[in-house]
């Protein structure tokens, strides 16, 4: 997948990622008799033929490259000369590189601040829209639209304009808060927030998922709570949140993984030039630095090592989230 | 019967699938065939690939010169391909490493040794001997500009030199007239005066311009690059950047935040400063970007005489892998000698390198006239020095210099940290 | 409580609700309205002015676009993007539905393992594959062709779409293909004549997302395409930003809007499919 932010990835199933469906009985249950065996063989053949594009793609474009990447990570490779084995040097160089540490900081800040804000916005608006009122469908569609265009170069260009000196955000900040930072785009401390704002603007994709989750919460639960005298806040805390926790879990997981991989918006918004991203590298997110090292400085080995660190980080975050799931995600049999 | 039936079905299965897979493969094959670039010959006609960096405007001019070339050499077709500067080198690097560089391409002094070391550049000396490329008639010793260790790796197309581009209106109002040989003290006093009387910073922030620091070092008998690595010490750079930071704080240099924000517009044309150091042939850009009038001023000196300047030049180089060295040589020859090319290109790539082209284009607009006068004055005053091609990795060191200087100016790192960072990154890039 | 009071209370709630929704709508729509307004303004009024639409709109910015960028007409970029987007849609639909059919309808050995692998690739960051894939295509001399951008689509590497279709096909009644088998239909016939037509909603959703993804894609073309004549709209716009964005700011803004139009049109035409498709398939565990 490209790093383009689309809502597509946000539509994973809630609950367990179940194995393949019932299918056609499977070969196992008809294992007796020569006719059955022939049929099993035919099923295998048909299965692998149908699967052949996927298998070729997996071998050629996923598994093979991953093995190659792991090898490159331990080499000095500039595309001109053959890769030269240098052991762990890429990794020690990486940890000693202040720019690498800086790009990690930028990325973590972006993920840690941006993802919760985006999800909070998505949930808040979903709660608002989860009422039977006229225009609901219209609002839902309109709020969703930014998720489709948010990752485009066009919107990054627009964002640069809206957040620059004397444009709307700068003026609002000056007149409402009395703060003059002279536009977020030029300020190394502020530009990352314009990137976060761009992420938040695309709250529509998780919102749609939240809405679908909210629709499945049984009305009777609220009615019973109301009879018990629970206020809106307690109803939200005791009923809504637990009931939609599976949806929340998947939104958190996917948005977090997605955020780690942001590229295009940061690249254009920061006005990528001369191997920098933003003023004083302020939007040098991890993938931008990977791109700079790999494609501008021709350090393919170093960039591969960086990619594996990203994979480890994302893997770790995923594992922690799955582990924490037990504590706060409630799978109600009825909800499915 | 039933077994038979399904059996047939099974084979239909496979055949259909094969057809499907074949269909998609064919679609992909078509794509690849339709897009296969590269050079080739076809019925006596030779196609060469020509790549350069530059702007939309340069592209239009170059397309015209190519039309002209193809008209005069009907057996040679030229396919072009261009990018902005940084993208160009990124793409060039990957194409060259894949063994598929363009046959002929624009080149600069910072990349000669780099790609020579990677065995990418063709020694054009042989083509000169064969009479396909004339190396006579070059101005001001430019004919040897593209030589590395006696091999001709690039042919200059136009000369340029570092200069101080000034906002003439602001300088006039402040009552400052830069004269040849003025000193850094006088320059800084002028910046302060502009800040105090004109309400804007004097200079856009020269601390990150590698080519200017190079001149400053040359005024002290050093240079930014030696053929092997860096030609200055950490103490030199600490001094340069400490003064720079003082200038930023004192407001004689533009607020770096503002400079960063108006990018890719130059701070000078955005009215954030009154002057900036750049290549003289870029002056045109300010006129089209900004609202004021822009002119050229001499580079300040340390001793009242030596500016450290040299004539730089863009070059045309050929790839060692080209299958058509003769056609490529003829192409380069045409581009640097044909008078009509000069009238089309103007000073877009600097003042034409050969006398024939220099004579053919006499600028009529004020900006180009200023450029011509500026370079003529440099040649006449005899301040010009020689430059040796930069070491491999110089481009990466140059980009790091600019970036780290900006970080320091924005207050994101101290001078000491910035200097340390620059030397560490250059060491990696220059491999020394 | 009288009926009138209830109605009044509902009315008040309704006003508050619409006020809230409209406030969010304003934030969401502002950038889009801004770009429309800005594209009708002269260069130096674009950033500083708070007025959303100019009192005196101009069309110069659009007329400028007719000249293209560096002798390349805009239609070239649009044609390239369209080719890639349509090519991607065909590839994704064909390859993903074949894989999904196998996963749900054919009981072949190793199905579980392959399914797990497929789910695994769903969470794999693309960047791990970026460099080695580039090296691969470079060695095959396929850089600067559209093959690297399309091949994966024909080989079902977008696991998400495989998954989406698996989710959908799994819910089709099993009796259908059992009946087909009794009629002597093989897998290909069942796939083509029975399962695919029933999967229309999933196919349409996949097609739209693939199209929009391909249209917006920036990193792939940035890395693989060299010649401006092969550039997609995203890269053409980036070239505009680098080259003419200073002197012709208004043109750049107009081009930004034009580049968005196909996606916006697609969205307006298919938003039902997009949102309902995603919301429902997202909840079928």
H/E/C letters for each residue in chain B? CHHHHHHHHHHHHHHHHHHHHHHHHHHHHHHHHHHCCCCEEECCEEEEEEEEECCHHHHHHHHHHHHHHHHHCCCEEEEEEEECHHHHHHHHHHHHHCCCCCCEEEECHHHHHHHHHCCCECCCHHHHHCCCCCCCCECCCHHHCCEECCEECCEEEEEECEEEEEEHHHHHHHCCCCCCCCEHHHHHHHHHHHHHHHCCEEECCHHHCHHHHHHHHHHCCCCCECCCCECCCHHHHHHHHHHHHHHHHHCCECCHHHHHHHCCCCCCCCCCEEEEEEEHHHHHHHHHHCCCCEEEECCCECCCCCCCCECEEEEEEEECCCCCHHHHHHHHHHHHHCHHHHHHHCCECEEECEHHHHHHCCCCCHHHHHHHHHHHHHHHHCCCECCCCCCCCHHHHHHHHHHHHHHHHCCCCCHHHHHHHHHHHHHHHHCC
Distance CA B319, CA B118 (A): 11
CB nearest B31 (choices: C134, C145, C244): C145
Does A158 map to a domain? yes
As given in the structure block, the two tokens for residue B168 are 């003439």
Asked if the model's pLDDT at residue A292 lies above 60, the reply is yes
| Span B99-116, average pLDDT | 91
Same domain? For A62 and A96 the reply is no
Distance CA B385, CA B398 (A): 21
Q: Which residue carries 């995603």 as its tokens?
A: C278
What integer best gives the mean pLDDT of chain B?
86
Residues 6+ apart with CB under 8 A from B293: B167, B168, B169, B287
pLDDT at A335: 42
Q: State how far the alpha carbon of A197 is from the alpha carbons of A102, A135, B186, C50, in Å.
A: 21, 26, 47, 19
Helix B234-250 × helix B394-409 angle, to 10°: 40
Asked if the model's pLDDT at residue B30 lies above 60, the reply is no
As given in the structure block, the two tokens for residue A204 are 């529509």
Distance CA A287, CA C127 (A): 7
- Confirm or reject contact between C48 and chain B (CB < 8 A): no
Does C39 map to a domain? no
Counted across chains B and C, CB pairs separated by less than 8 A come out at: 97
pLDDT at A7: 37
Does C100 map to a domain? yes
Helix (H) or strand (E) holding C99: helix C74-105
User: Tens of pLDDT along B118-169?
Assistant: 889 999 999 999 999 999 999 878 888 999 989 999 999 998 899 999 999 9
pLDDT at B274: 95
Same domain? For A108 and A216 the reply is yes
Instruction: Grade residue B238 by pLDDT with cuts at 50, 70 and 90.
Output: very high
Distance from CA of B255 to the nearest CA of A (A): 10
On chain A, the residues whose CB falls within 8 A of the CB of C278 are 7-8, 10-11, 205, 208-209
Q: Across the strands, what pairs with B147?
A: B152
Task: Cite the residue boundaries of each domain of chain B with CATH code 3.40.190.10.
Answer: 40-160+311-373, 162-310+387-430
Contact call for C71 and B28, based on CB within 8 A: no
pLDDT at A32: 60
Question: Cβ(C99)–Cβ(A54) under 8 Å?
Answer: yes
Domains identified in chain A, total number? 2
Does A250 map to a domain? yes
Does A19 map to a domain? no
Asked if the model's pLDDT at residue A199 lies above 80, the reply is yes
Asked if the model's pLDDT at residue A23 lies above 60, the reply is no
Asked if the model's pLDDT at residue A50 lies above 90, the reply is yes
Contact call for B84 and C71, based on CB within 8 A: no
Distance from CA of B341 to the nearest CA of C (A): 18
Contact call for A57 and C34, based on CB within 8 A: no
Counting residues of chain C whose pLDDT is more than 70, the rounded percentage is: 92
Same domain? For A252 and A198 the reply is yes
pLDDT at A332: 61
Does A9 map to a domain? no
| Of the candidate ranges A17-31, A294-308, C43-57, C220-234, the one whose mean pLDDT is the lowest | A17-31
Contact call for B257 and A79, based on CB within 8 A: no
Q: Strand B273-279 vs strand B201-203: parallel, antiparallel, or unpaired?
A: parallel
Contact call for C154 and B28, based on CB within 8 A: yes
Question: Cβ(B394)–Cβ(B423) under 8 Å?
Answer: no
Domain housing C159: 73-233+265-281
Give the Cβ contact number of residue A271 at 10 Å.
24
* First CA to last CA distance, chain B: 79
User: Tens of pLDDT along B206-233?
Assistant: 899 999 999 999 999 999 999 889 999 9
Contact call for A13 and C282, based on CB within 8 A: yes
CB nearest A24 (choices: C105, C132, C155): C105
pLDDT at B278: 92
- List the one residue out of B318, B335, B394 whose CA is nearest residue B107: B318
pLDDT at C3: 62
Same domain? For A114 and A246 the reply is yes
Does A49 map to a domain? yes
- Closest residue of C to B81, CA-based? C227
Does C254 map to a domain? no
Same domain? For A52 and A102 the reply is no
- Closest residue of B to C245, CA-based? B264
What integer best gives the mean pLDDT of chain C?
86
Instruction: Grade residue A336 by pLDDT with cuts at 50, 70 and 90.
Output: very low
User: Subunits touching A (CB < 8 Å, at least 3 pairs)?
Assistant: B, C
User: Subunits touching C (CB < 8 Å, at least 3 pairs)?
Assistant: A, B
CB nearest B60 (choices: C70, C90, C187): C70
Does A17 map to a domain? no
pLDDT at A18: 41
Instruction: Grade residue B39 by pLDDT with cuts at 50, 70 and 90.
Output: very low
Same domain? For A67 and A178 the reply is no
Helix B415-430 × helix B394-409 angle, to 10°: 170
Handedness of CA B12, B18, B22, B25 (dihedral sign): positive
Distance from CA of A321 to the nearest CA of C (A): 13
Residue that is last in its domain, among A37, A72, A107: A72
pLDDT at B29: 36
Give the Cβ contact number of residue A144 at 10 Å.
24
CB nearest C106 (choices: A50, A148, A264): A50
Residue B79 main-chain phi, psi, to 5 deg: -105, 130
Residue A282 main-chain phi, psi, to 5 deg: -65, -25
Distance CA B348, CA B281 (A): 7
Helix (H) or strand (E) holding A244: none
Q: Phi/psi class of residue A135: alpha, beta or left (left: φ > 0; alpha: ψ in -120 to 50)?
A: left
- Closest residue of B to C47, CA-based? B262
User: Subunits touching B (CB < 8 Å, at least 3 pairs)?
Assistant: A, C
Same domain? For A180 and A291 the reply is yes
- Confirm or reject contact between C108 and chain B (CB < 8 A): no
Instruction: Grade residue C245 by pLDDT with cuts at 50, 70 and 90.
Output: low
pLDDT at B5: 34
Counted across chains A and B, CB pairs separated by less than 8 A come out at: 92
| Span B291-308, average pLDDT | 92
Given CATH 3.40.190.10, say whether it is the number of domain B40-160+311-373: yes
Contact call for A80 and B407, based on CB within 8 A: no
CB nearest A188 (choices: B21, B402, B412): B412
Asked if the model's pLDDT at residue C24 lies above 90, the reply is yes
CB nearest C94 (choices: B24, B95, B100): B24
On chain B, the residues whose CB falls within 8 A of the CB of C64 are none
Q: State how far the alpha carbon of A306 is from the alpha carbons of A72, A80, A89, B162, B264, in Å.
A: 11, 20, 12, 38, 29
pLDDT at A334: 44
On chain B, the residues whose CB falls within 8 A of the CB of C236 are none
Does A155 map to a domain? yes
User: Tens of pLDDT along B325-335?
Assistant: 999 999 999 99
Distance CA B144, CA B126 (A): 15
| Span B254-274, average pLDDT | 87
- Confirm or reject contact between A300 and chain C (CB < 8 A): yes
Distance from CA of B296 to the nearest CA of A (A): 26
b/e map A4-35, b = 16+ CB within 10 Å: bbbbbbbbbbbbeeeebbebbebbeebeeeee
- Confirm or reject contact between C70 and chain B (CB < 8 A): yes
| Span A120-141, average pLDDT | 89
| Span A312-327, average pLDDT | 92
Counting residues of chain B whose pLDDT is more than 90, the rounded percentage is: 58
**Using alpha carbons only, how large is chain C's radius of gyration in Å?**
24
User: Tens of pLDDT along B188-205?
Assistant: 999 999 999 998 999 998
pLDDT at C279: 61
Question: Cβ(A152)–Cβ(A265) under 8 Å?
Answer: no
Question: Cβ(A126)–Cβ(A210) under 8 Å?
Answer: yes
pLDDT at C282: 47
CB nearest B257 (choices: A79, A98, A182): A182
Contact call for B83 and C141, based on CB within 8 A: no
Does C49 map to a domain? no
Domains identified in chain C, total number? 1
CATH architecture for residues B162-310+387-430: 3-Layer(aba) Sandwich (3.40)
CB nearest B260 (choices: A38, A80, A186): A186
| Span C72-90, average pLDDT | 95
Helix (H) or strand (E) holding A84: strand A84-85
Contact call for B17 and A79, based on CB within 8 A: no
pLDDT at A274: 54
Distance CA B156, CA B282 (A): 17
Q: Return the residue in C39, C107, C199 with the most chain A beta carbons within 10 A, the one to mutate for interface testing.
A: C107
Q: Return the residue in A157, A251, A256 with the most chain C beta carbons within 10 A, the one to mutate for interface testing.
A: A157
| Span A88-101, average pLDDT | 95
- Confirm or reject contact between B30 and chain C (CB < 8 A): no
| Span A176-182, average pLDDT | 83
Residue B104 main-chain phi, psi, to 5 deg: -140, 145
User: Tens of pLDDT along C96-137?
Assistant: 999 999 999 998 999 999 999 999 898 888 889 999 999 999
- Confirm or reject contact between A7 and chain C (CB < 8 A): yes
If 0-12 CB within 10 Å is exposed, 13-18 middle and 19+ buried, where does residue C50 land? exposed
- Confirm or reject contact between C53 and chain A (CB < 8 A): no
Question: Cβ(B384)–Cβ(B312) under 8 Å?
Answer: no
Same domain? For A144 and A249 the reply is yes
Find the Cα–Cα–Cα–Cα dihedral B180, B182, B184, B185, rounded to 10°: -170
CB nearest A279 (choices: B93, B257, B400): B257
pLDDT at A59: 95
Higher pLDDT, C285 or B155: B155
pTM above 0.90, yes or no: no
Query: Domain holding C228: CATH number?
Result: 1.10.3720.10
Contact call for B24 and A165, based on CB within 8 A: no
As given in the structure block, the two tokens for residue A278 are 């933003």
Q: Which residue carries 């001019």 as its tokens?
A: B61
| Span B383-403, average pLDDT | 88
Distance from CA of A260 to the nearest CA of B (A): 24
Contact call for C127 and A287, based on CB within 8 A: yes
Range 8-47 of C in CB contact (< 8 A) with A: 14, 17-18, 20-21, 24-25, 27-32, 34-35, 38, 46-47
| Span B381-387, average pLDDT | 83
Counting residues of chain A whose pLDDT is more than 70, the rounded percentage is: 88
**Using alpha carbons only, how large is chain A's radius of gyration in Å?**
25
Same domain? For A170 and A318 the reply is yes
Domain housing A312: 89-328
User: Tens of pLDDT along C183-209?
Assistant: 888 888 889 988 999 998 889 889 988
- Confirm or reject contact between A322 and chain B (CB < 8 A): no
Distance CA B105, CA B156 (A): 12
Distance CA B12, CA B9 (A): 5
Distance from CA of C160 to the nearest CA of B (A): 20
Contact call for C247 and B5, based on CB within 8 A: no
pLDDT at B68: 94
Distance CA B128, CA B329 (A): 8
Counting residues of chain A whose pLDDT is more than 90, the rounded percentage is: 49
Q: Strand B76-83 vs strand B40-42: parallel, antiparallel, or unpaired?
A: unpaired
Residues 6+ apart with CB under 8 A from A304: A69, A70, A72, A73, A77, A90, A294, C131, C132
Q: What is the ipTM of this complex?
A: 0.87
Residue B302 main-chain phi, psi, to 5 deg: -95, -40
Question: Cβ(A46)–Cβ(C247) under 8 Å?
Answer: no
Question: Cβ(C228)–Cβ(B246) under 8 Å?
Answer: no
Instruction: Grade residue B386 by pLDDT with cuts at 50, 70 and 90.
Output: confident
Q: Return the residue in A54, A106, A186, A288 with the most chain B beta carbons within 10 A, the one to mutate for interface testing.
A: A186
């Amino acid at each position: 997948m490209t790093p383009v932010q689309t809502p597509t990835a946000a539509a994973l199933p809630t609950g367990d990622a179940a194995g393949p469906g019932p299918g056609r009985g499977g070969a196992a249950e008809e294992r007796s008799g020569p006719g059955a065996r022939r049929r099993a063989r035919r099923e295998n053949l048909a299965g692998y033929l149908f699967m052949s594009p996927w298998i070729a793609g997996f071998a050629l474009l996923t598994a093979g490259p991953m093995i190659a990447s792991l090898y490159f990570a331990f080499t000095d490779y500039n595309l001109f000369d053959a890769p030269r084995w240098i052991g762990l040097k890429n990794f020690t160089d990486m940890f000693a590189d202040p720019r690498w540490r800086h790009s990690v900081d930028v990325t973590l800040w972006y993920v840690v601040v941006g993802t919760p804000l985006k999800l909070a916005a998505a949930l808040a608006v979903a709660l608002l829209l989860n009422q039977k009122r006229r225009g609901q469908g219209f609002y839902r569609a309109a709020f969703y639209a930014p998720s489709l265009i948010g990752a485009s170069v066009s919107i990054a260009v627009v964002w640069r304009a809206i957040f620059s000196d004397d444009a709307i955000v700068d003026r609002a900040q000056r007149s409402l808060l009395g703060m003059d930072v002279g536009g977020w785009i030029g300020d190394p401390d502020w530009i990352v927030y314009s990137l976060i704002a761009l992420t938040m603007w695309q709250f529509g994709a998780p919102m749609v998922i939240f809405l679908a989750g909210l629709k499945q919460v049984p009305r009777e639960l609220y009615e019973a709570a109301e009879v018990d005298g629970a206020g809106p806040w307690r109803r939200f805390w005791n009923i809504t949140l637990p009931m939609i926790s599976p949806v929340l879990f998947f939104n958190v997981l996917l948005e977090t993984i997605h955020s780690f991989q942001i590229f295009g918006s940061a690249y254009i918004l920061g006005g990528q030039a001369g191997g920098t991203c933003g003023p004083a590298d302020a939007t040098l997110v991890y993938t931008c630095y990977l791109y700079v090292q790999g494609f501008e400085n021709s350090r393919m080995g170093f960039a591969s090592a960086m990619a594996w660190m990203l994979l480890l980080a994302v893997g770790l975050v995923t594992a922690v989230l799955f582990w924490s799931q037990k504590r706060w995600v409630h799978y109600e049999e009825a909800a499915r | 019967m039933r077994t038979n039936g399904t059996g047939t079905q099974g084979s239909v299965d496979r055949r259909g699938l094969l057809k499907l897979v074949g269909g998609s493969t064919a679609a992909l094959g078509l794509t690849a065939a339709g897009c296969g670039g590269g050079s080739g010959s076809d019925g006596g006609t030779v196609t060469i690939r020509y790549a350069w960096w530059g702007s939309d405007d340069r592209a239009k001019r170059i397309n015209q010169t190519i039309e002209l070339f193809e008209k005069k050499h009907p057996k040679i077709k030229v396919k072009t391909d261009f990018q902005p500067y940084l993208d160009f080198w990124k793409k060039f690097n990957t194409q060259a490493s894949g063994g598929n560089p363009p046959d002929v391409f624009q080149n600069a002094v910072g990349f000669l040794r780099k790609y020579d070391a990677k065995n990418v550049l063709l020694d054009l000396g042989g083509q000169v001997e064969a009479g396909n490329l004339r190396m006579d008639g070059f101005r001001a010793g430019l004919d040897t500009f593209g030589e590395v260790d006696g091999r001709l790796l690039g042919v200059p197309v136009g000369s340029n030199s570092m200069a101080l581009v000034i906002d003439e209106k602001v300088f006039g109002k402040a009552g400052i007239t830069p004269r040849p040989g003025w000193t850094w003290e006088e320059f800084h006093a002028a910046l302060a005066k502009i800040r105090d009387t004109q309400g804007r910073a004097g200079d856009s922030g020269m601390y990150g311009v590698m080519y200017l620091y190079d001149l400053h070092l040359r005024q002290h008998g050093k240079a930014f690059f030696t053929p092997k690595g860096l030609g200055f010490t950490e103490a030199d750079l600490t001094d340069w950047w400490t003064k720079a930071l003082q200038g930023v704080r004192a407001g004689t240099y533009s607020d770096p935040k503002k400079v960063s924000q108006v990018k890719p517009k130059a701070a000078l044309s955005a009215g954030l400063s009154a002057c900036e150091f750049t290549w003289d042939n870029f002056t045109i850009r300010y006129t089209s970007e900004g609202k004021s009038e822009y002119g050229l001023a001499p580079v300040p000196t340390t001793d009242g005489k030596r500016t450290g300047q040299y004539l730089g030049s863009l070059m045309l180089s050929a790839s060692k892998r080209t299958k058509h060295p003769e056609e490529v040589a003829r192409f380069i020859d045409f581009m640097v000698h044909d008078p009509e090319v000069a009238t089309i290109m103007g000073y877009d790539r600097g003042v034409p390198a050969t006398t024939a082209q220099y004579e053919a284009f006499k600028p009529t607009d004020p900006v180009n006239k200023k450029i011509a006068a500026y370079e003529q004055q440099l040649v006449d005053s005899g301040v010009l020095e020689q430059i040796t091609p930069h070491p491999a990795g110089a481009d990466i060191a140059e980009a790091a210099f600019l970036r780290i200087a900006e970080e320091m100016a924005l207050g994101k790192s101290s001078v000491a940290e910035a200097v340390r960072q620059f030397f560490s990154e250059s060491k990696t890039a220059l491999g020394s | 409580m009288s009926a009138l009071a209830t109605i009044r209370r509902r009315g008040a709630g309704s006003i508050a609700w619409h006020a809230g929704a409209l406030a969010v709508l304003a934030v969401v729509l502002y950038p889009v309205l801004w770009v429309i307004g800005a594209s009708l303004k002269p260069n130096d009024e674009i950033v500083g002015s708070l007025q959303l639409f100019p009192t005196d709109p101009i069309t110069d910015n659009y007329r400028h676009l007719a000249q293209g960028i560096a002798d390349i007409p805009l239609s070239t970029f649009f044609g390239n993007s369209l080719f890639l987007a349509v090519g991607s849609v065909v590839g994704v639909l064909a390859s993903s539905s074949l894989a999904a059919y196998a996963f749900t309808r054919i009981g072949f050995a190793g199905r579980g393992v392959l399914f797990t692998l497929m789910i695994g690739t769903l969470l794999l960051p693309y960047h791990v594959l970026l460099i080695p894939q580039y090296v691969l295509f470079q060695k095959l001399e396929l850089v600067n062709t559209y093959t690297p951008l399309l091949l994966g689509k024909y080989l079902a590497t977008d696991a998400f779409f495989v998954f989406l279709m698996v989710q959908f096909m799994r819910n089709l009644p099993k009796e259908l293909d059992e009946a087909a088998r009794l009629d002597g239909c093989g897998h290909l016939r069942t796939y083509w004549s029975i399962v695919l037509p029933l999967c229309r909603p999933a196919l349409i959703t996949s097609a739209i997302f693939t199209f929009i993804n391909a249209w917006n894609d920036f990193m792939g073309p940035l890395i693989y395409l060299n010649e401006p004549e092969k550039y997609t709209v995203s890269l053409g716009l980036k070239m505009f930003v680098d080259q003419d964005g200073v002197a012709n700011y208004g043109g750049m803004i107009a081009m930004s809007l034009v580049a968005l139009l196909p996606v916006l049109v697609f969205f307006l035409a298919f938003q039902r499919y997009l949102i309902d498709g995603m919301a429902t398939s997202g909840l079928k565990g």
